[in-house]
Amino acid sequence: MSSHSESSTLLPSTKEPSPALSGTVGGIIISVQVAFAIYLIFFMNGYGPSTDYTTQEYIIFRDIMVMLLLGFGFLMTFLEKFGLGAVGFTMLLTALNMELNIMVEGFLTGGYKEGMTMGTIIDAEFSAATLLITYGAMIGRLSPVQMCGIAVAEAFFYALNKVHVVFGILNAEDVGGTLTIHMFGAFFGLAASYALGPQNKVSASNNSASRVSDVFAFIGTTLLWVYWPSFVGATETGVPQNEMYCLTNTILALIGSTGAAFYFSQLLCDGKFDAVHIQNSTLAGGVAVGASARLAMTPGGAFLVGIVAGAVSVYGYVFSTPFLESKFGIYDTCGVANLHGYPSVVGGLASILFVYMTPDAPFLVYDVWTQSFYQLLGVLATLFMSIVSGYFTGKVLLSDVGLFADYEDAMYWNKLHTI
């Protein structure tokens, strides 16, 4: 444990201004703020009808915001020297992306004509969650300028895929965002990471955890676990049966993935548990169940989806992560492929089966055979959209990785002290 005198010693790299910022990140932030102000003043048609508002909507907003700022933020504090970046930049990216999403989806759907509603804000939270998943793939390797640039680009591509492809052309079922949020965010981030290139810096050794940072990451895990059902059932608060299905199916899937994560972790780690597996793979059931959550998939079906997702996630951390690094140069800092990517594929494919179990559901647009086919198309289209747009964004915005140490907070925060 460091003494008090040691803890008050400034890190050398904080004594000089950071050329990585140089006013550019401030310019991006203020530009988004100005654009959003103009949108609200000159385009947004006031407020939506108060008769549509319910207190449940605010509770949902609050639960999801806890997931974003505390859940995602603290989950990514596993990096020993990037705790401020994990929590602090999570807040910045969440706010920026919510503003951007409200504008982009407002214009794409004409929602600005209906006025500002809590539903508008909740939809913006979903977009921010997608961005934070992408952030996890490259956390510690990007400057704030690059992260803000990705926030701008992904807000557009996410909305395009969600509004015009998955819920537009295809009318696929995805109440909990398995396709539109988790799959898109994960594979967008992996493709951008591929464009960023392999990790060849000496500072790669900073990509490590400590006992303290792992405990903080567990805080994020538990918060995400508790509030995940609200995330999946956010849009169904007005329909009791749909909401009940969403909540119970998500809870059962999370229980399944938690048990699977602990079992397969000790199975593959010589009888001991790996903190990375438990921090992440326990949540995989929540990722996978989202596409089918309001279907009558049966309690057993929800539980089995969770078990499969948890197992796939753990095996991904053990085998897929090193394979992607060695064969493709894809460095996935937080393992989003394993928590969000592969479980979302499991959930998307499972939804093809589960639509058969609720053929008369009023929210399904097509007959059973057509709906199942469109569920498959939803998976394929989202994979295509996320990978292509993520790689394009990475090539445009991440060509200059800079000379700064990776996974290190010191150059971005004023008067940072050692621990």
Residues 6 or more apart in contact with residue 304 via CB below 8 angstroms = 256
Mean pLDDT over all residues of the chain? 92
Tokens for 201, please give them: 């810096």
- Give how far Cα 402 sits from Cα of 141, 144, 214, Å: 9, 12, 28
Q: Specify whether the CB–CB gap between 281 and 310 falls below 8 A.
A: yes
Range in 48-57, 111-120, 234-243, 396-405 with the lowest mean pLDDT: 396-405
Q: Sorting pLDDT into bands at 50, 70 and 90, what band is 179?
A: very high
Range in 157-166, 292-301, 378-387, 403-412 with the lowest mean pLDDT: 403-412
Q: Give, in degrees to the nearest 5, the angle at Cα 90 between 84 and 96.
A: 135
H helix intervals, 66-198: 73-75, 83-109, 118-138, 144-159, 184-196
Q: Is the pLDDT of residue 349 over 60?
A: yes
10: left (phi over 0), alpha (psi -120 to 50) or beta: beta
Nearest Cα to Cα of residue 53 among 264, 237, 329, 284: 237
Question: What DSSP assignment string belongs to 84-104?
Answer: HHHHHHHHHHHHHHHHHHHHH
Which sign does the torsion angle of CA 16, 21, 22, 23 carry?
A: negative
Tokens for 108, please give them: 């794409």
Q: Which pLDDT belongs to residue 7?
A: 38
Tokens for 277, please give them: 């597996």
Q: CA 136: distance to chain centroid?
A: 8
The domains located in the chain, with CATH, are 4-397 (1.10.3430.10)
54: left (phi over 0), alpha (psi -120 to 50) or beta: beta
Q: Specify whether the CB–CB gap between 117 and 53 falls below 8 A.
A: yes
pLDDT, tens only, 64-89: 999 999 999 999 999 999 999 999 99
Query: By CB neighbour count within 10 A (0-12 exposed, 13-18 middle, 19+ buried), where does 270 fall?
Result: exposed
Tokens for 114, please give them: 């209906």
pLDDT, tens only, 380-418: 999 999 999 999 999 999 876 566 778 988 888 886 655
More confident residue, 97 or 7: 97
- Give how far Cα 47 sits from Cα of 118, 121, 159, 234, 405, Å: 10, 12, 22, 20, 46
Question: What DSSP assignment string belongs to 307-326?
Answer: HHHHHHHHHIIIIIHHHIII
Tokens for 397, please give them: 């915005």
Bridge partner list, 116: 47
Q: Is the pLDDT of residue 17 over 70?
A: no
Residues 6 or more apart in contact with residue 200 via CB below 8 angstroms = none
